[in-house]
Amino acid sequence: MKQLDDLVESASKQFEDAIHQVDHQVLEETRIEYLGAKSGKLKEAQKGLGKVAKEDKPVAGKRFNEVKTRLEELFQSAADTITGGGKKGKAETLDVTLPGVRPRLGHIHPITQTIDELKDIMGRLGFSAVEGPEIEDDWHNFEALNIPLEHPARDPLDNFYLNIAASSHGGGNQLLRSQTSTVQIRVMENKQPPIRIVSLGRVYRPDEIDATHYAMFHQIEGLLVDTNVTMADLKYVLRLFASSYLGEDVEIRFRPSFFPFTEPSVEVDMRWQDTWLEFGGAGMVDPNVLKAVGYDPEEVTGFAFGLGVERLCMRRHGINDIRYLYDSNTKFLAQF
Ligand code: PHE
């Protein structure tokens, strides 16, 4: 029994040494010395069991098995510690010669990059950036924008109306805003002219999804209200804006159009690298809108525009499918 106890004591010292030296060789030698199948110390002790008196055999056998398990444990834990891995929870050793684990760095999404850049450009032209809520009431999304109840743009099938009770203020239905023109109203309700703002953010429409349409996208809205504002100012600002973003001289073309909240209204095309591209709508703020927010249309005039942020970003980077932007595929996104 004494011999067995000594075995555990000396083995644990030697395995401990192997750990301190972080030495596989020492570990292996210690293993052979104690657990070696042919002439290990445990094997010897087993042979000694044969000489134990018959009546002492059960106790001695039991003790032998305990010692054997203990030695195997000592070896295993020393091995795990030295190889620095193995089972979880064991102490790890640091090998400073191994290459480090590089942290994966993310970066700003291309749409957010575009938004930041567009804000910057408009900031230099004197437009300050403001934000509006994505959940709107129909006063801000339609009514104040001169879009009456019977207008097809208010069709439930063309909007994401929310299934919640009407709010106490603004009245009526709540919906995910279908355009950032809502922010024009929110700004004018709270401030007197002169006004010079841009608002960039998400809008939602239940469109069929394809290469150029998504149920959620971003718009940049611009609004300028002052005395003697004309369409020439609008065209000039849009041309400066387009040239700054696309990086060359960009031509602007207005095509007659209709929006309930501008009069006259135009579609805005930009000619870049020999192609005409449609980027959104614009026009002179409709007198009815100015009245709805308490301005006097005889005193002030203004222009407004709304352009697609994805379109600008896709054109600039040569991206041909809007869905790539929202797939969360880091291989794609890492390119920008
Ligand atoms: N809100 C319009 C749209 O989403 C764009 C627009 C904005 C047109 C401002 C005129 C003035 O289609």
Residue 89 has pLDDT above 70, yes or no: no
In the chain, the largest separation of any two C-alpha atoms, in whole Å, equals: 120
Query: In whole angstroms, what is the distance from residue 67 CA to residue 79 CA?
Result: 18
Joined tokens for residue 333: 């996104």
pLDDT tens, residue by residue, 275-319: 898 999 999 999 999 999 999 999 999 999 999 999 999 999 999
The residues that bridge with 275 in the sheet, in sequence order, are: 272
Three-class secondary structure of residue 66 per DSSP: helix
pLDDT tens, residue by residue, 202-211: 999 998 999 9
Average pLDDT over residues 194-214: 96
C-beta 302 within 6 A of ligand 1: no
- What integer pLDDT is reported at residue 94 of this predicted model? 79
This prediction's pTM? 0.70
Query: In whole angstroms, what is the distance from residue 323 CA to residue 321 CA?
Result: 5
Atom of ligand 1 nearest to the CA of 265: 10
Q: Which residue has the tokens 């939602």?
A: 204
- What integer pLDDT is reported at residue 167 of this predicted model? 52
C-beta 204 within 6 A of ligand 1: no
Residue 38 has pLDDT above 90, yes or no: no
Residue to probe by mutation, ligand 1, list 261, 289, 301, 307, most atoms within 8 Å of CB: 261
Residues 7 and 15 sit within 8 Å (Cβ to Cβ): no
Query: In whole angstroms, what is the distance from residue 74 CA to residue 18 CA?
Result: 11
pLDDT tens, residue by residue, 151-168: 999 998 999 999 876 555
Residue 150 has pLDDT above 90, yes or no: yes
Q: Which of 170-184, 186-200, 259-273, 308-322 has the lowest mean pLDDT?
A: 170-184
Alpha helices in 192-260 (DSSP H): 231-246
Helix (H) or strand (E) holding 141: helix 138-141
Across the chain, mean pLDDT equals 91
Backbone region of residue 328 per phi and psi (left: phi > 0; alpha: psi in -120 to 50; beta: other values): left
Ligand 1 mean position to 268 CA, how many Å? 10
